[in-house]
Amino acid sequence: MRLTRDQIASARSFLFVPGHRPDRFDKAAASGADVVIVDLEDAVAVDDKDRARGYVSEWLEQGNASLVRINPFGTPWFDADLDTAMRHGCPIMVPKADSVAALTDLGRRTRGECDVVALVETATGIERANEVCATAGIIRLAFGNADFGAEVGVAPDDHLALTYARSKLVTASAASKLAPPIDGVTIAIEDTAVLNADIEHARCLGFTGKLCIHPNQVPVVAAGFAPSESEREWARAVVEAGESVTRVNGQMIDKPVLERARRILGT
């Protein structure tokens, strides 16, 4: 079993699980997350990299579906990580995705067998977001707010300071007809109010999913990115009004508004 491109494109909740903790793999899969990301990069210490890769390979061989976050281009583990993902036909998340040349070479190497989620987490990556989106094999962007914040010298949870970077990913994705991007992590694991505020902010900017670092965040993220009942009611009223320019509840309804309503309803 493998994750399909459509599943990744429509997913709302993405849960990281450390690659060196095989005892947590099945728990992550049972968390309700739309996509599990087994992590061979930041979550795994240097001395555990090879062992973690073996654990991940064994789990994938058992028929489990996952996205694999490999180590960055140019690291000692990149080739082995990529070979493992290719052997299982597994989609990958590429960190530090800011080199179009490297991403293009990756596409040639995988021959299109591994769909790629590009984790954009550098200033260079943000400024090259349009080129990254246009690279063959990229199916969705994700925002690495922690690494990006560290590079530019702002807190990873500062909404105002990171608005430009987030909006850049949203507009670049739309320009290349990709699914809307995946928002970064909320590091306040036990603070649901902070998580909900982050979700609301990301949704307002055009994100439709979020990276999670704890299973408890998954149901909050799933609910937060789902259309509310009031949104559904509005969308149904708009769709029922037909395709001609009209008014619904005092609002002018034309084609762009109708298209938004249909997206909310999934029609």
Annotated binding site for substrate: 69, 121
How far is 209 from 34, CA to CA, in rounded Å?
10
Sequence ranges of the binding site for Mg(2+): 121, 147
Sequence ranges of the binding site: 69, 121, 147
91 in Cβ contact with 116 (< 8 Å) = yes
Chain-centroid distance, C-alpha 2: 17
How far is 192 from 220, CA to CA, in rounded Å?
8
How far is 174 from 146, CA to CA, in rounded Å?
24
Return the half-sphere exposure (C-beta side, CA atoms, 13 A cut-off) of residue 152: 21
How far is 254 from 256, CA to CA, in rounded Å?
6
How far is 26 from 189, CA to CA, in rounded Å?
20
Q: Which helix (H) or strand (E) holds 106?
A: helix 100-110
Q: Which helix (H) or strand (E) holds 246?
A: strand 246-248
